[in-house]
Structure 1
Amino acid sequence: MAAKREPMSNVDTAWWRMEDPTNLMMITGVILFPEPLDYQKVKRLLEERLLRFNRFRQRVVESRGPLGGNPYWEVDPHFDWNYHLRQIRLPEPGDEHELKKVVSKYMSKPLDYNRPLWQFHIIRNFKNGSALLGRLHHCIGDGTALVRVLFSLTDPTPDMNDQAHFQEIKQAELEKAEEKKGLLSTLVDPFISAAEKMLHFGETALHEGMEALLNPSRVLDAARYVVNTAESISKLLLSPADPPTLFKGRLGIKKRAAWSRPVALQDVKTIGKTMGGTVNDVLLTAMTGSLRRYLIEKGQNVEGIEIRAAVPVNLRPPEKALELGNKFGLVFLPLPIGEADPVQRLNILHERMNQLKKSPEALLLFGLLQAVAMTPQEIQDLVVSIFAKKVTAVMTNVAGPPKTIYLTGVPIDNIFFWVPQSGRVGMGVSIFSYAGKVTLGVATDVGLVPHPEEIIEGFHQEFEALLSRIPRGERLTGQLTSTGPLHLQDSESTATEWGGQQRCQATTRKGTRCKNPAREGSQYCAVHQPRSTEDG
């Protein structure tokens, strides 16, 4: 008896067919733990909670009809735990450098297409604890869906039998939708109803046509919708390609992963509140400044340069938070690389993000992905190529739980992830907030950016430059550690680095934090004393 098959949706098919050896459509994530994980406990957890989602039992089977068509999902009759959950022991000294090498290796390695498209590795000998490396194909679901599904594996307490957790997940998602904190997720509200309209537009076209004969006003509504869409398509297609930079070029198979030290979310919020921006504006400003630094250090002229980042926009209603599949659009955000002043850069990004929130661009690209999936492969490749030329990076921001959560009873120290870069895009930037801290993940093509750690360091320098403009009494500065909970301290204690003398708060011409001690009664050293007309 043939296995029961389920057709893949158009949008999921589009992501499946974007797979390329030089750009694998995988979402890769790492979870850090202060204690070793137990293999059998993790396996039992995945059996009970992950496999309740059918998609994680299913493999992809291509359609064999004469006209092709979308592939199908079918249950894998040979499901093998030895493939889906493996163990690795890091070589000595078992530090972050060794972990980055392992993550980069598997980020560059495709999943087995004959099996369900996911795999976890328990990584032993990482410091005094362990790590969990996960890889999941984009056609199973977008980043928002997969992150929330993975959170269903966790508990709010060490008690794994806490059955109230699933209700807490749903409640937390509803509360998050109401908070509107300024993260990328706040773009979702204007588009949800429109997305539903897009999904049903084609299905109801015949009915709408008949109804229009009885109600001519419906013709005007439909005409406006089509005109707006056509204008947006023209704007996207006719926009110039991104300028040539070190971030663009021919891609290879090898990728490299890097991640930042955690920064205090409260500090990010304080900067945003003081400078009139959102959490997301602050993080994008620091990241844009980091890319600027990288290009300057490599000898590239950045005057007047702008590059676009493709920013995913969640179109999934909160009540469907645990529903798999891809329900997101994309907006193209121009990053002002040529702007040297971080405050002005923040203002520019804030204004552009506000404009994008009012734009139909995300909805348009969601619909375009649906349409592209129904075209021949050659047309799909052409469309992907056109848009890839207009984008230099993919940037996404996901808000995680505000408090520590547990997996198999073990507390999670930190979480970070990397999204795939569709088409010929060679860099991905992922920002994740968890338990009061924010971590940045950067994935690059080795042939273009061999050492993404340089971009990470630039991010920290840019963030410090923004933070240095905030009075110390208003900061909640976090100890930036690679693992472990974020220990918040009074800003006075973190500023005493010369036997009780405070460090200068200025930024040098090279963009780095000044290392001189501050003068008594001032936040600055003798070199960087502000003028009397300026606010230090």
Structure 2
Amino acid sequence: MTERLRPRDIGVLAVESASAPRHNATVEIFDPAGSGFDYARLVELVGDRISFVPRYRQRIAKVPGGLANPVWVDDPDFDLGYHVRRSALPRPGSCEQLFELVARIVSRPLDRHRPLWEAYFIEGLEHGRVAVLSKSHEVLVDGVHTVDLAQVLLDRTPDPRPMHHDDWRPLSAPSPMGLVAGAINDAVSGPVTALDAARSRLDTVVRSADSILGQAASVIGALGGGRPAGEHPLGGPLSQQRRVVTVRTDLQDYLDIRKEHGGDVHDVILATIAGALRGWLLGRSESMSGVRHVRTVVPVSVSDRDLETTSLGSPIVAYFVDLPVGESSPVVRLHQVSYAFKAHKETGRGVAANRLAGIAGFAPSTFHAIGARVAGDEVRRGFQLSVTNVPGPQSPLYAAGARMLETYPVHPLLPGHALAIGVTSYDGRVFYGITADRDRIHDADVLGQCVSDALAELLDTIGGRARAPRGRVKKAVKRATSKKTR
């Protein structure tokens, strides 16, 4: 029995392009000492756990004539060695070198003729560490039928669960005539199939029209001698290349700020991002005139029986907030963010962070994937930035006995959006993954430094705490400017 793609999935595929591929990625850094964790062990681990996510062995098959939506079918030529790849940095590889490699890998679209995912075992990192980069398409991880592969690879103890090798054999791929016959049969037995196909075609037309109109407005604005219509420091036409910048911080800092000023950790993280954007914008040659807020979509979990439940146990919806980048006071920024989320909290629909953190496996990777889909669904509503903040477990996790030290989400960029930010808390740390268009945001490393400075600025407001050093943003801006003018 084949399963059809839903209209929402067709819409995602319709707007995907070489400059805006729609896949999510996660970078996890491990200490393999004493575990024997290497490329062969990763292949074995994936081969064992992939039975929990059977769609990772399926590809998309189109129905001739578009009589119905495409279907998921077993890949008769499935090759685990193709999907799980090996790479290395020149030893000792730095963090900067690692994420330059990651940026190049995530810039490449996935092959639609194969199952829509890849994983890379990256060796050569300093201190003997290794990294695993997993990359999965948004239509593959819908959070309803399929979770992210990274969620099933990790264990809560150094002793991995016993291996078991399933006897999977691909079902015969349906012929073109078989796909047509299936579409006709579904249309007769379930009229919703034909309706879904019509809705998918209409959604594709609407999304394509939106894209064309947006491009036309930009061109007309440019010909008029002014800024292209709707242009924003965080937006504009995208290149086919990305930058990935990461920041590692301590969870205790956010807890201390919350204790001093109220709100919750989520509020503090968003206030930190608001402060970082402010510092980054001030450090650029362009002025901040007219940029007082950055309209941001933040996917959140809610309790609502009328919405589709995800594998995380609750629906995920978009929540919009204006990050106050024009406000100079870090405390006022925090209070403004807290107030913006007050209405959501008072509805009683919000899901507690500790509940999300307790989900089996490493659920943040699945939450980030669903969050990216939610943001993509809302692109017509005119926001400038998407931020997905996901609480993870606060105890160590392991892959084949190797302890995971760090984890960074890498979000896709939506058309016309030059920046996206993912945040994951894990084992006493808070990890930021910043995805930026390589051409439009050449100084993404400055933004990463500004995250650290914005957090330090909030920490400075805590009574009796020693002041953090300053001046780092100016140095980072100077370095970025010198690189650009070389």
The alignment's TM-score, normalised by the length of structure 2, stands at 0.71
- How does 1:137-536 map onto structure 2 within 5 Å? 137-142=137-142, 150-161=150-161, 244-260=231-247, 262-302=248-288, 305-314=292-301, 322=311, 328-356=316-344, 387=379, 390-472=382-464, 504=467
Task: Measure, in 2, the Cα distance between the counterparts of 1:433 and 1:242.
Answer: 37
**Match of 2:325, as an amino acid?**
I
1:8 paired with 2:5, answer: yes
**Structure 2, gaps ≥5 residues long:** 164-190, 193-227, 351-374, 476-486
Q: Does the aligned pair in 1 maintain the 2:318–2:378 contact within 8 Å?
A: no
**Match of 1:96, as an amino acid?**
C
**Match of 1:299, as an amino acid?**
S
- What is the CA deviation profile of residues 336-392 of structure 1, one whole-angstrom value per residue up to 9, with x for unaligned ones? 111111111111111112234578999xxxxxxxxxxxxxxxxxxxx9799357121
Task: Measure, in 1, the Cα distance between the counterparts of 2:312 and 2:390.
Answer: 17
Task: Measure, in 2, the Cα distance between the counterparts of 1:146 and 1:455.
Answer: 34
Task: Measure, in 2, the Cα distance between the counterparts of 1:330 and 1:52.
Answer: 28
1:133 paired with 2:133, answer: yes
Q: Does the aligned pair in 1 maintain the 2:30–2:130 contact within 8 Å?
A: yes
Task: Measure, in 2, the Cα distance between the counterparts of 1:386 and 1:268.
Answer: 29
- What is the CA deviation profile of residues 375-433 of structure 1, one whole-angstrom value per residue up to 9, with x for unaligned ones? xxxxxxxx979935712111101111110011011111111112223332221100000
- What is the CA deviation profile of residues 208-263 of structure 1, one whole-angstrom value per residue up to 9, with x for unaligned ones? xxxxxxxxxxxxxxxxxxxxxxxxxxxxxxxxx99643221111111110100x22
Q: Does the aligned pair in 1 maintain the 2:46–2:153 contact within 8 Å?
A: yes
Q: Does the aligned pair in 1 maintain the 2:303–2:349 contact within 8 Å?
A: no
**Change over 3 Å in CA distance of 1:66–1:139 after alignment to 2:** closer
Report the 3-state secondary structure (helix = DSSP H, G, I; strand = E; otherwise coil) of the residue aligned with 1:90: strand
2:74 matched to which residue of 1?
75
Specify the structure having the higher radius of gyration (Cα): 1
Q: Does the aligned pair in 1 maintain the 2:136–2:148 contact within 8 Å?
A: no
**Change over 3 Å in CA distance of 1:8–1:463 after alignment to 2:** same
- What is the CA deviation profile of residues 110-169 of structure 1, one whole-angstrom value per residue up to 9, with x for unaligned ones? 111111111100001111121001100011125899776523221111111379xxxxxx
Task: Measure, in 1, the Cα distance between the counterparts of 2:280 and 2:330.
Answer: 15
**Change over 3 Å in CA distance of 1:451–1:143 after alignment to 2:** farther
Q: Does the aligned pair in 2 maintain the 1:265–1:437 contact within 8 Å?
A: yes
Report the 3-state secondary structure (helix = DSSP H, G, I; strand = E; otherwise coil) of the residue aligned with 1:461: helix
Percent identity among equivalent residues?
27
2:94 matched to which residue of 1?
95
Q: CA RMSD in A?
A: 3.5
The alignment's TM-score, normalised by the length of structure 1, stands at 0.64
Task: Measure, in 2, the Cα distance between the counterparts of 1:305 and 1:342.
Answer: 14
Cα deviation, residue 50, structure 1 = 2.2
**Match of 2:49, as an amino acid?**
R
Report the 3-state secondary structure (helix = DSSP H, G, I; strand = E; otherwise coil) of the residue aligned with 2:64: coil
Task: Measure, in 1, the Cα distance between the counterparts of 2:474 and 2:87.
Answer: 40
Cα deviation, residue 448, structure 1 = 1.1
What number of residue pairs does the alignment pair up? Answer: 382
Q: Does the aligned pair in 1 maintain the 2:267–2:337 contact within 8 Å?
A: yes
Cα deviation, residue 327, structure 1 = 5.7
Q: Does the aligned pair in 2 maintain the 1:388–1:424 contact within 8 Å?
A: no
Cα deviation, residue 78, structure 1 = 0.4
**Structure 1, gaps ≥5 residues long:** 164-201, 204-240, 363-382, 474-502, 513-536
Task: Measure, in 2, the Cα distance between the counterparts of 1:388 and 1:444.
Answer: 20
2:83 matched to which residue of 1?
84
**Change over 3 Å in CA distance of 1:16–1:155 after alignment to 2:** same
Q: Does the aligned pair in 2 maintain the 1:462–1:511 contact within 8 Å?
A: no
1:485 matched to which residue of 2?
none
